[in-house]
A = this chain, B = another copy of it.
Amino acid sequence: MLGTGKVVIAQGGGPTPVVNASLFGVVREATRQLGHGTSIWGAQNGITGVLQERWIDLRNVKEQLWKQIAESPGAALGSCRKSLNPEEAVRAVSILRDNDVRYFFYIGGNDSMDTALKINQAALDLHHEMVCCGIPKTIDNDLPGTDHCPGFGSAARYMAQSTADLGADVRSLPTPVSILEVMGRDAGWLTAATLLARKNPGDAPHLIYVPEVPLTREKFLSDVQQVYDTHGWVVAAVAEGVKNKEGKRWGDRQDDRTADDFGHRLPGNVAATLANLVTSELGLRARGDKPGLLARSSAIMASPVDRLEAEEIGAFGFSRALKGNTGFMASIVRQQTKTYVVEYGSVPLENVANKVRLLPLGFVTDHRNDIRAEFRAYAEPLVGALVQHACLTDRGFNSANPATQGR
């Protein structure tokens, strides 16, 4: 334990519906273990707030407000997409040292773990004794070293339920082709989770395309035509980052001004692009929808398991940090039990930073347009139950007047 120094927490990258549960988890555990007198600061807008010394005194936050904060989407401390250069890392650590900060928590995804790693390295270089801990957070579920990432289960629940809802709509009033765009530049985990909407054969989604598998124009059009010929309606879930054979994104935006500090350009509109293609090539009425950021900001659709784990992993991260460990990211370790049980662990930041864990191709079907049933066992415990829909046209009630059928 590093004496009475301050605790600083910051949030980086895209928010999730449970990112503030992790914030609360760290604060809760720090208060419990160090006492109410402990200085716990938030840095506003991630590492930017450290560099600019924009602090928030988290001791002043009342318990009632914490409850609301923990359940609010958006990063309650503000977030950033700042890529730290070496000079900035040194400056940030100097500021943290001058403020006697001994525990530094960075809640974020791949890019944020890069920041956490740089801070940790700079602290070692400057001989500032400070524990630096990453708390995982990403709806993309693409951090290595953890069974899954807090935030994923909630966004997956939003997308899976939305797919089920959309399916109920489109089935009843065939558009007949509906393409649902799902966030995910490189990793297809979230798009794969739309599979959970399918309870019976023929349910939406009929087609699932992830960025890990190239999608040619011919393959796409032939898949859509085939599903349409079979069912008369089509719901396809498509990752925003799905690429053609040449590795070019279907929906990429050419404008570099949409790029963030890490060079990631905003994706284009793959659903709209593919819907236009379906109409022009197959002559079918097709529409694309794109809930986009709503998947990561709907607190109402948050998965209860995800929310609980997000808070617990924050608390665990603090406990582990208090033992003096540094340079690690807290992780979730799924137990080999019949029912779903997790424990928490840790992985070195250098094993995580800037690395992307893609969806294993083993989860993709041979036809490369769907996700295997095995994925359910992985994802269902994280997502929780969905609301099931019913209709009357599939239940054999349509025999009211058999005598006149087909007349």
Is A44 in contact with B393, judged by CB distance below 8 angstroms? yes
Partner of A258, one of B39, B53, B286: B286
Which B residues touch A333, using CB under 8 A? none
**A290 close to B292 (CB less than 8 A):** yes
Measured in the bound complex, the distance between the Cα atoms of B400 and A272 in whole Å is 47
Alpha-carbon distance between A222 and B269 when the two chains are bound, in angstroms: 25
Number of copies: 2
Is the beta-carbon distance between B393 and A72 smaller than 8 angstroms? no
Given known pairs A99-B404, A173-B80, A291-B294, the reply for A398 and B55 (CB within 8 Å) is yes
Contacts of A406 in B (CB 8 A): 53
What are the residues of chain B within 8 A of A288 when measuring CB–CB?
Answer: 269, 290, 292
**Are the C-beta atoms of A266 and B287 separated by less than 8 Å?**
yes
A348 CB-CB contact with B under 8 Å: no
Interface residues on A, range: 35 or more
What's the minimum C-beta distance from A326 to chain B, rounded to whole angstroms?
A: 23
Interface residues of A in 272-288 (CB under 8 A from B): 272, 276, 279-280, 283-288
Asked if A78 is an interface residue, CB under 8 A from chain B, the answer is: yes
B400–A55 CB distance below 8 A: yes
CB within 8 Å of B: which A156-170 residues: 161-162, 165-170
Contact string, A253-269, partner B, CB cutoff 8 A, digits 1/0? 10101111000001011
> Residue of B at shortest CB range from A57?
B400
Which listed segment binds B: A125-133, A144-152, A297-305, A352-360?
Answer: A297-305
Check A287/B279 contact, CB under 8 A, given A298-B165, A299-B387. Answer: no
- The reply to whether A289 and B292 form a contact with Cβ atoms under 8 Å apart is yes
Most central of A260, A272, A399 by chain B CB within 10 Å: A272
**Can you pick out 16 interface pairs between chain A and chain B where the beta carbons lie within 8 Å of each other?**
A11-B172, A15-B172, A15-B173, A41-B400, A53-B407, A74-B169, A77-B392, A169-B293, A253-B279, A255-B279, A257-B279, A257-B285, A266-B287, A269-B288, A288-B290, A289-B291
